[in-house]
Structure 1
Amino acid sequence: MQIKINEELRSYIEPLTESEFQALESSILGEGCRDALVLWQDVLVDGHNRYKICQEHGIPFKVTENTSFRNLEDVKLWMIDNNLGRRSISDYQRGVLALRKKEIVRARALELAAQAAAEDAAVAPPEGEEAAPKKSTVMPLASREDIARAARLSTATIGQIEKIQKTATPELVEAVRTGTISINAAANVASLSEEQQLAAVAGGKKELQKAAREVRELRNAGRPAKEPKEAKAPPSADYGHQPTEVDELRAENNALREKNAALLAEITALQLRISELVNA
């Protein structure tokens, strides 16, 4: 069988780093290609790196065909689920794959909804009779919670990855992909202009962290001032320790909790006022 390479499928999953590829090559040279390559008819679906290594070194390999695929979308969904089940991929990669799955599921749901509407319009009930309610067969749209569950991440992290994908420069995306900057910090830097992002990436890890910290501080400065609380000085005040990113995230989390509590109190007061006006 002549195996075909579909470039869209080959590049659909995050490529291996140079060190990962070398480790895989060493394993195959020493132990052979133990896992079978997965095909869709004669198109390679899973095992592009193994296939390349085996071809270069003349190493035999096995293939298996998945006959459940109906179209390219089925193939992509299988590739996503297959890679989400692996432990070696990063949180960012998990989020990207889960968001890709969300788009496929959403597109299918909208397509099915359009088909169902067209079928309902084509089958008109007899005059004077109402159409019997039909049980919906439309796929539900994937919520952010569903996507987070599939990726084994928090909904907040999924939101940050969405922001990175929408507004981050390719250079910033590469920085978070390689672990130079955290997802949370990258989402903050992604709110800057393209020029500012490029400058931060060019400055390396420290400059990226500094840019992320400045964005957080600027955002916090725009929030309403809170009443000071009596509390013991943090240990960092005694030892001249500079706040770490974890300290800043904890502070931001506490600020958001307090803001949320204030908003809930405001909503309750407004609801009470509405009730009083209605009953007046």
Structure 2
Amino acid sequence: MQIQINDTLRAYIDPLTEAEYTALERSILAEGCRDALVLWNDVLVDGHNRYSICQQHGIPFKVTQNTSFRSMEDVMLWMIDNHLGRRSVTDFQRGVLALRRKDILEARAADAAAQNAAEDAKIAPPEPTAAEEAAPPKVRTSREDVARAARLSTATISQIEKIQKQATPELVEAVRAGTISINAAATVASLPQEEQVLAVAGGKKQLQQAAKEVREQRAANRPAKQPKEDSPEALAAPAASLSEVELLRAEVARLTERNAQLRAENAELRERIASLVDAS
């Protein structure tokens, strides 16, 4: 059988890094190709790197057919689930794969609904049988479902979605390489594309600095929270105002007393002046 390579399937999963490919090649050269390549008819589904290494070094390999596939979407869903179960897949890669899975399932559900609506518009549906009355399994594609499939938090899934929509290819590659965290990358992705590219070019420290500056700017622009009526801050405010009034009253009393002292001294001086005038 002549194995066919589908470029879409080959590029569907992130390629191995140079170090990972070298490690796989070393393992196959030492132990042979232990895992069978998975085919859909004559199309290679799983094992592109193993197939390439075996072809290059003339190493024999086994193949197995997956007969459950009915469409390219089935193949892609199988590839996604297969990679989601691998420990070597990073958090970012798992999030991307889980989001791809959601897109496929939602598209399928929309197509099925449209097809059913079109058929219902043509003829009245027959009475359902007992088996047909059983509701089909609900397609679960909420953010919580995606996060559960990827073994990530919903917040991380939201950050990955933002990176996919707003990040430049350079920033996405930096996340894949582990140069910047998902959290920081989502923050930097809010910058204009030119600034993202410059931050990536500056390396890890520049990316961290860019994320820090964005967070500080957001904090500076965030309106101050008003304390609740029953909060300690709100309860302390009247006390502070009362304290200021008391201080002002004490200051008035002090000045009044001082004024009286000055008046008394002034009267005493007048008397002394008058006595001196009489003596002369």
TM-score (norm: length of structure 1): 0.76
User: In the superposition, relative to structure 1, how do residues 125 and 22 fare at CA in structure 2: closer, same or farther (>3 Å)?
Assistant: closer
> 5+ residue gaps in structure 1?
127-133, 229-280
What percent identity do the matched residue pairs reach? 74
Mapped pair 1:109 → 2:109: yes
3-state SS of the aligned residue for 1:59? coil
Aligned to 1:84: 84
> After alignment, is 33-42 or 213-222 more displaced?
213-222
User: In the superposition, relative to structure 1, how do residues 109 and 141 fare at CA in structure 2: closer, same or farther (>3 Å)?
Assistant: farther
Q: 1:38·1:63 contact (CA, 8 Å) conserved in 2?
A: yes
Query: 1: CA distance between counterparts of 2:76 and 2:169?
Result: 23
Mapping for residues 1-280 of structure 1, pairs under 5 Å: 1-124=1-124, 137=136, 139-140=138-139, 142-226=141-225
Q: 1:108·1:139 contact (CA, 8 Å) conserved in 2?
A: no
Query: 2: CA distance between counterparts of 1:125 and 1:154?
Result: 43
Query: 2: CA distance between counterparts of 1:124 and 1:136?
Result: 19
Query: 1: CA distance between counterparts of 2:62 and 2:207?
Result: 45
Superposed displacement of residue 73, structure 1: 0.3
The amino acid of 1:7's aligned partner reads: D
TM-score (norm: length of structure 2): 0.76
**Which has the larger helix fraction?**
2
3-state SS of the aligned residue for 1:25? helix
> 5+ residue gaps in structure 2?
127-132, 228-280
Query: 2: CA distance between counterparts of 1:98 and 1:20?
Result: 22
Kindly provide the CA deviation profile for residues 128-184 of structure 1, in whole angstroms up to 9, marking residues without a partner as x: xxxxxx775485351111110000000000000000000100000000100000000
Superposed displacement of residue 226, structure 1: 4.2
The amino acid of 1:213's aligned partner reads: K
Q: 1:113·1:138 contact (CA, 8 Å) conserved in 2?
A: no
Query: 2: CA distance between counterparts of 1:139 and 1:59?
Result: 45
Aligned alpha-carbon RMSD (Å): 1.9
Query: 1: CA distance between counterparts of 2:184 and 2:147?
Result: 19
Query: 2: CA distance between counterparts of 1:30 and 1:124?
Result: 65
User: In the superposition, relative to structure 1, how do residues 164 and 90 fare at CA in structure 2: closer, same or farther (>3 Å)?
Assistant: same
Superposed displacement of residue 208, structure 1: 0.3
Query: 2: CA distance between counterparts of 1:124 and 1:227?
Result: 61
3-state SS of the aligned residue for 1:11? helix
Structure 1 or 2, whichever has the larger Rg, is 2
Superposed displacement of residue 222, structure 1: 2.0
Superposed displacement of residue 11, structure 1: 0.6
Q: 1:80·1:97 contact (CA, 8 Å) conserved in 2?
A: yes
Aligned to 2:277: none
User: In the superposition, relative to structure 1, how do residues 70 and 42 fare at CA in structure 2: closer, same or farther (>3 Å)?
Assistant: same
3-state SS of the aligned residue for 1:39? strand
Query: 2: CA distance between counterparts of 1:211 and 1:145?
Result: 30
Query: 2: CA distance between counterparts of 1:105 and 1:49?
Result: 28
Query: 2: CA distance between counterparts of 1:135 and 1:88?
Result: 39
Query: 1: CA distance between counterparts of 2:20 and 2:55?
Result: 18
Query: 2: CA distance between counterparts of 1:137 and 1:115?
Result: 15
